[in-house]
Amino acid sequence: MLLSPQRITFKTGLTVFDCARGRFPAYFSDICVPVHSVAGRSRLRSADHGDLIVPRVQTQRYGSRSFRVSGPTVWNSLPQNLLSSDISREQFKRGLKTWLFEHAYV
């Protein structure tokens, strides 16, 4: 069983996975913006890794906990094998749980 912080990370990662694959409502599409889709950032190394843009926050208290910030932050911290575009949802879930367990008990 995953601990609370890992469970939150799991749910956030799974939501971002669905958002990045277009399985969520349209208003989520502006949250999951790939780095390579922005003209000035398309040549960055993070664009090759499949990272998402993490917006700047206005408030320190709640800004970093919003999904707009925490979703891309969790996504960008995942290993490359989970960010692959040809991975299925079930493979992503399995790999994410394995990765979280490895980091929780190290």
Domain map (residue ranges) of the chain? 4-104
Residue 75: phi and psi, rounded to 5, are -60, -45
Question: What pLDDT is stored for residue 40 in this prediction?
Answer: 59
Residue 60: phi and psi, rounded to 5, are -80, -25
Question: What pLDDT is stored for residue 2 in this prediction?
Answer: 58
Q: How many CB atoms lie within 10 A of CB 93?
A: 16
Q: Which two tokens stand for residue 73?
A: 């932050």
Start-to-end Cα distance in the chain: 16
Cα–Cα distance measured from residue 8 to residue 47, given in angstroms and rounded to the nearest whole number: 26
Cα–Cα distance measured from residue 94 to residue 99, given in angstroms and rounded to the nearest whole number: 9
- What does the chain come to in residues? 106
- In this predicted model, what pLDDT tens digit does every residue of 25-67 receive, in sequence order? 877 777 777 766 665 555 555 545 667 777 777 777 767 777 8
